[in-house]
Structure 1
Amino acid sequence: MNQKPERKTSGRSAETACGIHAVSALLSARPQDIYKLWVVSDKRNARVDELVSQARDLGLVIAETDRQRLDRLGGELRHQGIIAEASPAPVRNEQDLAAATSNLDQPFYLILDGVEDPHNLGACLRVADGAGVHGVIVPRDHASPVTPLVRRVAAGAAESVPVYRVGNLARAIQQLQKQGVWVIGASDKAGQSLYQTDLRGPLALVLGAEQKGLRKRTEALCDALVSLPMAGQVSSLNVSVAAGICLYEAVRQRQGETT
C-alpha cells in the first residue's frame, strides 16, 4: 500500500506519543491524526514491528532513525523504539460533558480537583479506564494537561478515556447534579466511610490535589463526603491509589457483588 504524504499540522502544535502502549492506543483511536511515526532502525522488538505493520497498512508516514534521534525526540520519556507525532486531540469542554451525560443511563465519572502532577494524572486515567468510567473531569487551570508524560504513564488510557477540561469546576459539578448525577467527594475529614456509602446509580467521584485535598468550594458542592479507613501512621494516600480504591468499590457495588 502506498504511504500517504506527510500530514500538515495547520499551525497546531504537535502531540507526541512515546512507547508501545501510547502509540498503539493512538493508532487505534486516532490514526487519521498521526502525521509521522518514528521507529528505531535496528534491534526492534516484535511489538514495535507489529505497530509498524499496522501503520503501513494505514498508509502512515514511517521514518526509521537511530536511537539517539529517538532519545532527542522523546526527551526524558522512555520511547521503547517508537514515537508518534500527531495533531492534538480535540479538547472536550463543559458543553461536551453535558451532552455526553444526557446520553448515558448510568453516568460514571471521576473528577480530579487540581491534580497537577502528570504522573498522578496518567495513573488516574489508567485506573479510570480499568474501572470503565465514562470520563475524567479536570479544571482547565491549576491542573496538569494531557502531556506526553501523562500519555506514557496512562499506557493507552489517555486515548480511551474522555478527558473534559472545564473552565469552572464548580459550575460543571452543578450541571452534573442538575442532570441527576450524585457527586461524592473523598475527604479525610468525612465521618462516613466509603464502604458505608451507596455508590450505585449516576455517580461522580471527586478527589483532591496532592497534599491539599479538595478545595473548600468543591467540598461544599458535594452531595456527600466519604473517607477511606486508614489503619497505619500515614494520613493519606496517593491520589491515583485513592482513585483506584474508590472507583473499584463503586464498580463492585454497581455490578451487584456482595463480597
Structure 2
Amino acid sequence: MSKNKFPPKPKYDPDTGPVYLYGIHTVRAALDNPRRQKRELLVTPNALMRLKESGPVAGVKQRETTPRELDKLLGSEAVHQGVALEVEPVSRFGLNDIDPLRLIVVLDQVTDPHNVGAILRTSCAFGADALITTQRYAPRETGVMAKAASGALDLVPLIEVRNLGDTLELLKTRGMRVVGFDSEAAAPLAPRTGDEALAIVLGAEGKGLRQRTRELCDEMVRLDMPGPIKSLNVSNAAAIALFAATSARAK
C-alpha cells in the first residue's frame, strides 16, 4: 500500500462527484459484494487491520491515508472510522432478477438519503427480498445513504423503476398483495396472520403516497399511535410495518 505518495484528493460533491463509501461495516459489505466495482481503498493502518480481521482486501487498489485527510475529503461530519472506498454505484436489479418474491418494500418518491439508507437496513434485518424506488425523486447513492444502511446497500437488491404504477401492477400479477400506508386510512395496521406475499408501500413524509399509488394498493392501513405525537419518520414506520408483516412468519 502506498504511503501518501499522492496529494490529498479535493473534497468531493456527493451530488455530482464519485461515490465514496465509508465506515468499517459499510466498506466491508462493499468489498464482499462481487457485483460492486471498486476503484480505490483509502485507509489508515489501524482501519486496514480491522478490515483484514473480517475478510480479505486483496484485489483492490489501496492508498494509505490519515483521519485528517479523510475529514478533508468527506467532510468533518462523516463518521468514516479511518476508511473510505471509491466505488461505482451499486448494480441495480430488475424484478425479473428476484424470484421468488415474498416481501418487497416500495418507496414512493422518498428522497432523503438518511431515510432510504435506514429503510434498507431495516429491510435487510427483516429479510425483505428487495427495495424498490422511483427513478425520479429518489436520492443518488452516496456515502450518507450507505452509512445509514450499515452495509445493507450491498446486501438488499435495489430496484429503480420508471413507472411505479406499472410496477405495482406487475407485482400483483406475481401474486403479491400491495399494502399502502397512509395516516388517514380507515383500517389500522395489524400483524399479518398468514404467509401471503406482501409489497409494503411507503410515501414521503408530509406528502405521503400519491393518489395513483393509493388507487393501486389492494388495501390501505394506518399506524395507530396513542401518544401526543401522531406521525413517525418514514424509516421508523417501515420498521413497524415490516415487523407486523413478518411476525407470523417468525413464529
Partner residue, 1:149? 144
- The CA distance in 1 between the partners of 2:224 and 2:67, in whole Å, is 47
- The CA distance in 1 between the partners of 2:86 and 2:108, in whole Å, is 30
What letter is aligned with 2:83? I
Partner residue, 1:5? none
Superposition TM-score, scaled by structure 1 size: 0.83
* Higher relative helix content: 1
Specify which of 95, 100, 104 is matched with residue 97 of structure 2.
100
**1:190 partner SS:** coil
Matched residue count: 233
Superposition TM-score, scaled by structure 2 size: 0.86
Q: Closer, same or farther in 2 for the Cα pair 1:166/1:231, shift >3 Å?
A: same
What letter is aligned with 1:142? Y
**2:119 partner SS:** helix
C-alpha deviation, 1:212, in angstroms: 1.4
- The CA distance in 1 between the partners of 2:26 and 2:62, in whole Å, is 16
**CA contact under 8 A between 2:42 and 2:65: conserved in structure 1?**
yes
Q: For residues 126-161 of structure 1, give each alpha carbon's deviation from its aligned partner in whole angstroms, at most 9, with x where no partner exists.
A: 100000000000101112232211001111011101
**CA contact under 8 A between 1:146 and 1:158: conserved in structure 2?**
no
- The CA distance in 2 between the partners of 1:32 and 1:213, in whole Å, is 32
**CA contact under 8 A between 2:89 and 2:141: conserved in structure 1?**
no
Structure 1 stretches of 4+ with a deviation exceeding 6 A read none
- The CA distance in 1 between the partners of 2:127 and 2:154, in whole Å, is 13
**1:195 partner SS:** coil
**CA contact under 8 A between 2:133 and 2:160: conserved in structure 1?**
yes
- The CA distance in 1 between the partners of 2:119 and 2:36, in whole Å, is 26
What letter is aligned with 2:197? P
**CA contact under 8 A between 1:199 and 1:250: conserved in structure 2?**
no
Partner residue, 1:22? 26
Alignment of 1:91-170 (within 5 A): 91-92=92-93, 96-97=94-95, 99-101=96-98, 103-104=99-100, 106-170=101-165
**CA contact under 8 A between 2:192 and 2:248: conserved in structure 1?**
no
C-alpha deviation, 1:173, in angstroms: 0.6
> What percent of counterpart residues are identical?
36
Q: For residues 152-195 of structure 1, give each alpha carbon's deviation from its aligned partner in whole angstroms, at most 9, with x where no partner exists.
A: 11110111011111001111111111111110001111121211
- The CA distance in 2 between the partners of 1:171 and 1:178, in whole Å, is 11
C-alpha deviation, 1:73, in angstroms: 2.3
- The CA distance in 1 between the partners of 2:86 and 2:33, in whole Å, is 14
Unaligned runs of 5+ in 2: 1-16
C-alpha deviation, 1:253, in angstroms: 1.7
Partner residue, 1:74? 74
C-alpha deviation, 1:197, in angstroms: 5.1
Partner residue, 1:39? 43
Partner residue, 2:215? 220
C-alpha deviation, 1:52, in angstroms: 4.6
Unaligned runs of 5+ in 1: 1-12
- The CA distance in 1 between the partners of 2:20 and 2:194, in whole Å, is 37
Partner residue, 1:64? 64
Q: Closer, same or farther in 2 for the Cα pair 1:127/1:35, shift >3 Å?
A: same
